[in-house]
Amino acid sequence: MFNSFNSSMKKHFGCKIYKLSLSGGMTCPTRDGTLGTRGCIFCSANGSGDFASRPCQNINDQIAQAKALVSRKAKDARYIAYFQDYTNTYAPVTKLHELFTAALEPDDIVALSIGTRPDCLPDDVIELLAQLNQIKPVFVELGLQTIHESTAEYIRRGYKLDVFDDAVRRLRSVGIEVVVHIIIGLPGETEEMIYDTVRYLADMRIDGIKLQLLHVLEGTDLADEYRQGKFQVLDMDKYIDILENCVMLLPPETVIHRLTGDGAKKDLIAPLWSADKKNVLNTINKRFREDGIKQASKFKVN
């Protein structure tokens, strides 16, 4: 019914692919004083990399550690080196070259995935990514979250929509696949605003998308606002209703990399139902089987 990450990777590489969450040891312009010091309003102290390896380790050690975490289920597997936390192009291009080249060196690493911001992609970094893409596939993940400027200001995203548009254009011009993160349930956004964001990305024909449930995590400014009663989080049924409609808006070729997401349980404040990831995914799959195709005619790509 939809183009999942697992099925897409298996079709492309011929086997099961696992992501190895790595850290480049970088920060972010919303944390180092360039655009702010507290990060995006929802972002944990680990820069959305709660499951990444420790940045103090060299890349070979990080890869070994990450492989050990999936070793029980990853028999004869191949891997994507995934730089997840903070902004992974926010460093001199010489450092990025050394880091990414080392990550691509092992034979069982088949691709490189880099999480970053669209305002942290200068021309020399784009050129480097294009060179690496000639060696093994490179995916760039951009944290958009929403197309709505009022919400972007509230969450302290720190860049305008046209910066995102330009980054996608320049990445595509050198043949790099773009995966976009959006958050479902941001304070102040209506369902229609969420669908507007998905329609916008559908019209752009992005290569992949991560649909992320809003989590409230300890130590974030969002947690303070939640405790003050300024917004409510989605319950599971409502989230799946919205998620289902978002999937139906996307072109069938768009790879869906994520249908929910989870924060570290020790830091999770709300919604608590999201902590039971197995139940959440089973419920999503059940609902999709029952309802997804029936709603396809209603939720079309414009």
List per-block mean pLDDT (blocks of 10 residues) for the chain, which spans 302 residues. Answer: 86 91 94 94 69 67 91 83 95 97 96 98 98 98 98 97 98 98 97 98 97 95 96 96 94 93 87 94 89 42 34
Residues 189 and 266: their CA atoms lie apart, in Å, by 27
Residue 163 lies in a domain: yes
Specify the pLDDT at position 88. Answer: 97
Residue 215 lies in a domain: yes
Residue 89 lies in a domain: yes
* Structural domain span for residue 243: 3-294
| pTM (predicted TM-score) | 0.91
Look at the chain and report how many structural domains it folds into: 1
CATH of the domain at 115: 3.20.20.70
Closest CA to 217 of 190, 183, 242: 183
Residue 300 lies in a domain: no
Residues 267 and 71: their CA atoms lie apart, in Å, by 26
Residue 284 lies in a domain: yes
115: helix, strand or coil: strand
Residue 299 lies in a domain: no
Query: What backbone phi and psi angles, to 5 degrees, belong to 99?
Result: -65, -50
Residue 26 lies in a domain: yes
Residue 301 lies in a domain: no
